Amino acid sequence: MSDQVEEVGGAEALRIEAADWLMRQRTSDLWAQEDQAALESWLAKSPAHLLAYWRLEAAWSRTDRLAALRDVPQARPAQARRKNIGSFLTRSVAVAACFAVVGFLLLRSSVPLGREFSTSVGGHETIRLADGSLIELNTNTTVHVLDGGNGRTVTLDKGEAYFQIVHNQASPFEVLVGDRKLVDIGTAFSVRKETNRLQVAIVEGQVRFAPLHPKDGKPIYLSSGDMLVASAGKTSVTRLASPDLKSELGWRRGLLIFYRKPLADAAEEFNRYNQQQIVVVGEAAGKLPVSGALSANDPEQFVRMARNVFGLRVERRNSEILISR
Amino acid sequence: MTDQPPDLHAWFVREVLPLEAALTRYLLRYRSNKGDVADLLQDIYLRVYDSARRALPQSTRSFVFVTAHNLLVDRVRREKVIPLETVESIEAIGVAAEIAGAEESLIAREELRRVQAALDALPPRSREAILLRQVNGLSRREIAARMGIAEQTVKWHLNAGVRALADIFYGNSDQQRSKP
């Protein structure tokens, strides 16, 4: 009985319906505001709708990673062809144009992301690219310089990096971050990627910030002094005063610069750079405003400040330092 | 996107969905019917979500499994189908849940490999349609033209494809385990 198609009902029927909404939203030529409104009202109808949709959306967005491979060169011989894929490919003569990319993608056991550069926690390194552009990697950061795009396409997989780009009108420099990309128009800028947040600060020149799929939204043009923050569904741009911009990029000099930053946030910032983690216990302590420039790799300095300036209690436990009132 | 607080969405994706494989294995012991398991999962997710709306649980893992356990016990009482003694203790569930947790942390490259392995396991037409979308950036209409089939058919391949992906990523799929 279990394999009968007619038996589909209940949760399975709901999954089909949710998949229909998701696929319409993600693959239509045109997805208007009315469509989005209709989707949202369907989602609002029942938590079951919402949860079924979230589940599929989460699975789908994992394939967004594939877009990062778009710049892979087309002509790469595929020797280790898998049987099932081979027949699938030969049948699909119509898709000859995308053979190389698709085939390449499926046939390789390891994915060709290009050259990898990374730093560990507390690390700080500068890479010079063939065209003279510089990429400065902050703590716990990974970038890939893709084989395609004249070595001018880079993915930021995690962490934070500062880009000083040698401009080339004919071959724009691209930074791919998740499902977004940044295209330089003569520039120095920093990009920081967190789990659910992306932050871009422009020091010099102009950058175009766009979704990887042109259909997913309009590009935003950023110029020097702009700071963009994108998180779940929301993107905002603020204009930074020059000192704020300096604080954002303090890490380039090994410094963390805070101005009236809540202690808990400051500790979190520190923790990006050190194995030894600082935990601020309690909301009251966490909200204390911190100002100053501290050395990123010296948690002791931070601890001294907490003890001497704020009179907080410090307790050490294995790799953690607990700070409380 | 929706009027839910955004962290509930993130929490569901980050902490609840990765438990689905272990949860499915657990449920399959009492319900051999796949559709039935989907219904049970839906009920569990609804209960978990309802409670998380008031406050996020301290340990999502044990909360989800306790919810599943209670749901099964409820059903046993109501339907008198499953002998009560087959519903195992929470301690035993805890072990299964720990194993699932080990699968959660994936670095980017492994993740990409896993996405590839999942694609390999899809029906060829679904796979082709998804790749044309996600690698080549084509719309549904363009995919139909490229594959030489009706747009409605593409729609179905995509629909089946994304559902199969979710089952492979989160559900109890042998495919997931057999590929390194």
pLDDT per residue as tens, chain A (325 positions)? 333 333 446 888 899 999 999 999 988 888 888 888 899 999 999 999 999 999 999 999 888 767 655 543 332 333 323 333 333 333 333 333 333 333 333 333 334 457 888 888 888 888 888 888 889 898 889 998 887 667 788 889 889 999 988 888 788 888 988 888 898 876 788 898 887 888 888 888 888 888 887 777 778 888 887 888 888 777 888 777 766 777 777 787 777 777 778 899 989 888 888 888 999 999 888 988 877 777 787 888 888 878 877 788 999 988 899 999 8
Burial of residue A79, with CB atoms counted within 10 A of its CB: 0-12 exposed, 13-18 middle, 19 or more buried: exposed
Rounded Cα distance between A8 and A131, Å, is: 58
Give the pLDDT confidence score for residue A256 in this predicted structure.
78
Widest Cα–Cα separation across chain A: 73
Interface test mutation site (partner A, options B109, B151, B156, B170, max chain A beta carbons within 10 A): B109
Quick one: closest CA in B to A93, which residue? B147
- What sign does the CA torsion over A295, A301, A303, A309 have? negative
Of B50, B127, B135, the CB nearest to A67: B135
Check CB contact under 8 Å for B38 and A106: no
Quick one: closest CA in A to B32, which residue? A2
CB contacts, 8 Å: A232 with chain B: 1, 6, 9-10
What is the ipTM for the molecules in this complex?
0.72
Interface of A with B in 1-20 (CB under 8 A): 1-2, 7-12, 14-16, 19-20
**Phi, psi for residue A163 in degrees, rounded to 5:** -110, 130
Give the pLDDT confidence score for residue A280 in this predicted structure.
93
Interface of A with B in 237-296 (CB under 8 A): none
Of B13, B146, B162, the CB nearest to A19: B162
Give the pLDDT confidence score for residue A180 in this predicted structure.
85
3 state DSSP class of A305 = helix
Rounded Cα distance between A65 and A60, Å, is: 10
The pLDDT confidence band at residue B165, using thresholds 50, 70 and 90, is very high
CB B163, CB A19: distance < 8 Å: yes
Q: Two tokens at B55? A: 């406050």
What is the average pLDDT value for chain B, to the nearest integer?
Answer: 74
Lowest mean pLDDT among B10-19, B28-37, B46-55: B28-37
Check CB contact under 8 Å for A62 and B115: yes
- Return the HEC string of chain B: CCCCCHHHHHHHHHHHHHHHHHHHHHHHCCCCCHHHHHHHHHHHHHHHHHHHHHCCCCCHHHHHHHHHHHHHHHHHHHHCCCCHHHCCCHHHHHHHHHHHHHCCCCCHHHHHHHHHHHHHCCCHHHHHHHHHHHCCCCCHHHHHHHHCCCHHHHHHHHHHHHHHHHHHHHCCCHHHHHCC
Nearest chain B CA: its distance from A205 CA (Å): 29
The radius of gyration of chain A from alpha carbons, rounded to an integer in Å, stands at: 24
Rounded Cα distance between B26 and B30, Å, is: 8
CA geometry: angle A160, B7, A177, nearest 5 deg: 25
Q: What is the mean pLDDT of residues B51-73?
A: 84
The fraction of chain B above a pLDDT of 90, given in percent, is 17
CB contacts, 8 Å: A69 with chain B: 135
Give the pLDDT confidence score for residue A19 in this predicted structure.
95
CB contacts, 8 Å: A66 with chain B: 112, 115, 131, 134-135
Give the pLDDT confidence score for residue A145 in this predicted structure.
87
Check CB contact under 8 Å for B155 and A158: no
Residue of A173, A20, A312, A259 whose CA lies nearest to B159: A20
Check CB contact under 8 Å for B120 and A27: no
DSSP string, A146-168: -SSGGG-EEEEEEEEEEEEPPP-
Quick one: closest CA in B to A41, which residue? B2
CB B96, CB B68: distance < 8 Å: no
CA A304 to chain CA centroid, Å, is 34
The fraction of chain B above a pLDDT of 70, given in percent, is 68
Check CB contact under 8 Å for A63 and B17: no
Residue of A202, A199, A198, A197 whose CA lies nearest to A226: A202
Residue-wise burial string across B86-114, b where 16 or more C-beta atoms lie within 10 A, e elsewhere: ebeeeeebeebbeebeeeeeeebbeebbb
Give the pLDDT confidence score for residue B154 in this predicted structure.
92
Give the pLDDT confidence score for residue A228 in this predicted structure.
85
CB contacts, 8 Å: B33 with chain A: 1-2
Quick one: closest CA in B to A30, which residue? B139
CB A146, CB A71: distance < 8 Å: yes
List Cα–Cα distances, A66 to A56, A118, A233, B137, in angstroms: 17, 21, 21, 10
CB contacts, 8 Å: B1 with chain A: 40, 232-233
* Strand order from edge to edge, sheet including A320-324: A277-280, A320-324, A313-317
CB A153, CB A176: distance < 8 Å: yes
Inter-chain contacts counted by CB atoms under 8 A, chains A and B: 179
CB A294, CB A255: distance < 8 Å: yes
Q: Which one has a higher pLDDT value, B94 or A150?
A: A150
The pLDDT confidence band at residue B45, using thresholds 50, 70 and 90, is very high
Q: Is the pTM of this model over 0.80?
A: no
**Phi, psi for residue A24 in degrees, rounded to 5:** -65, -40
Q: Two tokens at A298? A: 């010296």
Inter-residue long-range contacts of A21-24, CB under 8 Å, 24+ positions, other chains counted: A21/A53, A22/A53, A22/A56, A22/A57, A22/A60, A22/B162, A23/B140, A23/B155, A23/B158, A23/B159, A23/B162, A24/B155
CB A294, CB A271: distance < 8 Å: no
Chain B contact for A58, CB < 8 A? yes
Q: Two tokens at B44? A: 């569990």
Nearest chain A CA: its distance from B171 CA (Å): 11
Number of Cβ within a 10 Å radius of residue A33: 7
The pLDDT confidence band at residue B46, using thresholds 50, 70 and 90, is very high
Nearest chain A CA: its distance from B176 CA (Å): 14
Q: What is the mean pLDDT of residues B83-101?
A: 40
CB contacts, 8 Å: A58 with chain B: 13, 17, 166, 169-170
Burial of residue A234, with CB atoms counted within 10 A of its CB: 0-12 exposed, 13-18 middle, 19 or more buried: exposed
Q: Is A122 left (phi over 0), alpha (psi -120 to 50) or beta?
A: left
Check CB contact under 8 Å for A55 and B115: no
A96-107 helix and B108-120 helix, angle to the nearest 10 degrees = 120
CB contacts, 8 Å: A63 with chain B: 115, 119, 130, 134, 165
Give the pLDDT confidence score for residue A72 in this predicted structure.
35
Nearest chain A CA: its distance from B48 CA (Å): 11
Check CB contact under 8 Å for B2 and A50: yes
Rounded Cα distance between A286 and A280, Å, is: 6
- What sign does the CA torsion over A203, A205, A206, A212 have? negative
CB contacts, 8 Å: B165 with chain A: 59-60, 62-63
